[in-house]
Structure 1
């Protein structure tokens, strides 16, 4: 429960050009949640309706949704941001060629929802919301987002997550979701560059921005294959449901 949003975040109300206002609203509890990562495995999955059917939808790093709704859904309730995305948003928001700023449209499409950032990124997202004149509920973590994650994951997964390996945003998001959701459903969690048929898979299902290319696991700080196995283990134990591959077009 140390990972619950009411415990490990401060809450701020962002409203256009108004200063950020600190609030103390309590976070809700949900029966089913969709946690949507950004792997290219989602392309052609037809998981959109299934994702939208969940009670709460969480995404990561301001992905492009428009144009990919059939595969990734339309709804967003919360967006988790790593430390690099707010930097990219700031740089993109100041591009002279305004048609190259992909983040303004992405943020407008999810206006009024929840953004979750590390303490060091709060100022950048406040500035972006004011620049674009958008309103959000901003969650700012208390201290280091990754505090205790490796120990908790080691206990739950019965395997060691230690040393210099840094937990991914996906790991932190999934473990946080279990604190306020009865049944988390994971989509797009596939860190490999080829599928079971040896077909190449793009890192993200959507195109990149105009800042600089994102390199998968740059510098090797993450142990993504081990995290994938960790999620599969939790799936087998019934803690969560992991979806890899196409979804049916019927209602779940």
Structure 2
């Protein structure tokens, strides 16, 4: 195993296939399964605040290029920001920090997918008396006028936080549980049992329903590269509302992140989507 220059990750056997080509037939096979999500029928839009422009609800439309951005520290030093911002539709997860990291993660956000804990964190953070400790103020401003996708039960918490921030969003409420459907669809696509989907897997499979050329950035569920070089849990510093574990994923979540990573790599191998690791622009 070769030693990499400082700032360059070596992914070894965990890297995606080095050669990649889009396969429309493989995408159509996956879409036969993901169409069962019936997202256009199962989502309801609620406008919070004065939404100034079309908030680009994706379901029922097709985009040529899309990207879903994970929050792994593997994005640091990637220089992928320009490439991400060139996509027609950009999806982020759980309101990450963008300001200060634009060179690596881009600045555009069309949709933010929230897990079940994030609205509680938003509300709690927005109510902090010491406003300098509110970690969501700048994050929300960076994503303003986009789409928030959340559990319907979280609307009061989200609305309360947005009232403090005086920001406008389109909130998409998903009717009925989606995790069980995602499990069945992912299991059918993978031809093996999948369970406990992360919000990342949900976002990736949703993206295939409305995007013709899908890309993934910042998905790497390991804390060291092939040379044992440490990789941060998130590319941005931990916040003080609910800091993630330093060296493992939340054990209460019951996610099999290793299996999901291999699932995404398999979609990459099949040409359904392109998984990006390392520096953008590298061969």
TM-score by length of 2: 0.81
Alignment check: 8 A CA contact 2:59 2:210 kept: no
Give 4+ residue runs of structure 1 displaced > 6 Å after superposition: none
Report the Cα distance in structure 1 between the residues aligned to 2:119 and 2:142, rounded to whole angstroms: 17
Per the TM alignment, residue 120 of structure 1 is displaced from its structure 2 partner at its CA by: 2.0
Alignment match, 2:161 = 128
Q: Deviations over 1:23-79 (max 9, x none)?
A: x99653201101000000000010111101111000000000000011000111110
Alignment check: 8 A CA contact 2:66 2:214 kept: yes
Alignment partner of 2:194 out of 138, 161, 184: 161
Alignment check: 8 A CA contact 1:4 1:176 kept: no
Q: 1:249 to 1:131 in 2, by over 3 A?
A: farther
Q: Deviations over 1:212-247 (max 9, x none)?
A: 311242125100000000000011111111001111
| SS state at 1:76 partner | coil
Alignment check: 8 A CA contact 1:47 1:249 kept: no
Alignment partner of 2:232 out of 195, 199, 202: 202
Alignment partner of 2:49 out of 7, 11, 15: 15
Tell me how large the CA RMSD over aligned residues is.
2.0
Q: Deviations over 1:140-180 (max 9, x none)?
A: 11011313111110110122114xxx110001000001011
Report the Cα distance in structure 2 between the residues aligned to 1:197 and 1:25, rounded to whole angstroms: 40
Alignment match, 2:206 = 176
Alignment check: 8 A CA contact 2:94 2:113 kept: yes
Alignment match, 2:100 = 67
Q: Confirm whether residue 226 of structure 1 aligns to residue 274 of structure 2.
A: no
Structure 1, unaligned stretches of length 5 or more? 17-23
Per the TM alignment, residue 96 of structure 1 is displaced from its structure 2 partner at its CA by: 1.1
Structure with higher helix content: 2
| SS state at 2:47 partner | strand
Q: 1:249 to 1:161 in 2, by over 3 A?
A: closer
Structure with higher strand content: 1
Report the Cα distance in structure 1 between the residues aligned to 2:190 and 2:59, rounded to whole angstroms: 29
| SS state at 2:157 partner | helix
Q: 1:159 to 1:47 in 2, by over 3 A?
A: same
Q: Confirm whether residue 149 of structure 1 aligns to residue 182 of structure 2.
A: yes
Please say which of residues 104-113 and 166-175 is displaced more in the overlay: 104-113
**What number of residue pairs does the alignment pair up?**
241
Per the TM alignment, residue 109 of structure 1 is displaced from its structure 2 partner at its CA by: 1.6
Alignment partner of 1:108 out of 100, 123, 141: 141
Structure 2, unaligned stretches of length 5 or more? 1-34, 51-56
Alignment match, 1:19 = none
Q: 1:25 to 1:245 in 2, by over 3 A?
A: closer
Per the TM alignment, residue 110 of structure 1 is displaced from its structure 2 partner at its CA by: 1.5
Alignment check: 8 A CA contact 1:4 1:179 kept: no
